[in-house]
Amino acid sequence: MRLRVIDAFTDRPFSGNPAAVCLLDLPDWPQDTWMQQVAAELNLSETAFARPLPPGGEADWALRWFTPAVEVDLCGHATLATAHALHSDGSLPEGSVRFATRSGVLTAQAAPDGVLTLDFPASPADPVPVPEGIAAALGTAVLAAYDTGALGDLLVEVADETAVRSLDPDLAALARLRVRGVVATAAADDPAAGYDFVSRFFAPAVGIPEDPVTGSAHTALAPLWSARLGRPDLVGLQASARSGLVRTRLRGDRVLLSGHAVTVLDGTLAL
């Protein structure tokens, strides 16, 4: 069974966010236990499994995502990586593909220059009281907190880009929060550097201490910063050790997430 590791939201290897992609030639899913074991063995933040659907339906492929610990409802970088795998194989019908997922039908479009664009539902960034203990868990003051609805993350704004980059959180404390993950964000210190806002994403509760570049988190970051900055088109830098850029476009109740991807490993799963 073919397995690829693809770095997403980057145009060079060993940066961005690596995802494993397994394109299945099966009429139905393998056992959930097996897919979870594969994801745990690979130990990347996400492993994507996709299988083709019969023609004529609302989607072309069914797609599921697993962290090393659990199956999740939405993942941006592994969707981008799956689209990249299909595009590399020449399997994107008319340059686009529709995925049936737990979060509905998601579309990916490939441009001639290799940029891939995901069409995801926008997530709300609704203000909530700053949870008790979150500042201590992150190790920095929290200016504001936001609920992200079905996305299941806690989004918090901190003082500035330096504060985001300097975070050294108490992961055990974050894991006790009843959220998928915690997104910390601030405006870019210098928008002339090529990005408008920065973020980091911590999700120890689902087996991801820190995710290098989180596409799904940008479905909430984009509405927040587009409203703040007064522009629908922005660039977010996720300031992890690997780093990556996510171009966002707010379009009604949808967010377009764009970036490159690079295959770094192409092999066979010996099972």
Tell me the sheet residues that pair with 12: none
DSSP, collapsed to helix, strand or coil, labels residue 78 as helix
| Residue 113, C-beta contacts closer than 8 angstroms, at least 6 positions apart | none
- The token pair at 22 is 């397994």
Give the active site residue among 46, 157, 161, 210. 46
State residue 240 phi and psi, 5-degree precision. Answer: -85, 180
Start-to-end Cα distance in the chain: 8
Spatial CA neighbour of 108 closest among 123, 89, 95:
95
Query: Which residues are paired to 109 by β-bridges?
Result: 96, 117
How many other CB atoms are there within 10 angstroms of residue 90's CB atom? 6
- How many angstroms separate the CA atoms of 147 and 90, rounded? 39
Task: Pull the structure tokens for residue 115.
Answer: 């940029």
46 catalytic residue (yes or no): yes
User: Could you identify the residue written with the tokens 């055990």?
Assistant: 172
Amino acid of residue 104: G
For the chain, state the CA radius of gyration: 18
Q: How many CB atoms lie within 10 A of CB 19?
A: 30
Contact yes or no for 110/83 (Cβ under 8 A): yes
Task: State the Cα–Cα distance between residues 154 and 200, nearest whole angstrom.
Answer: 12
Residues known to be catalytic: 46
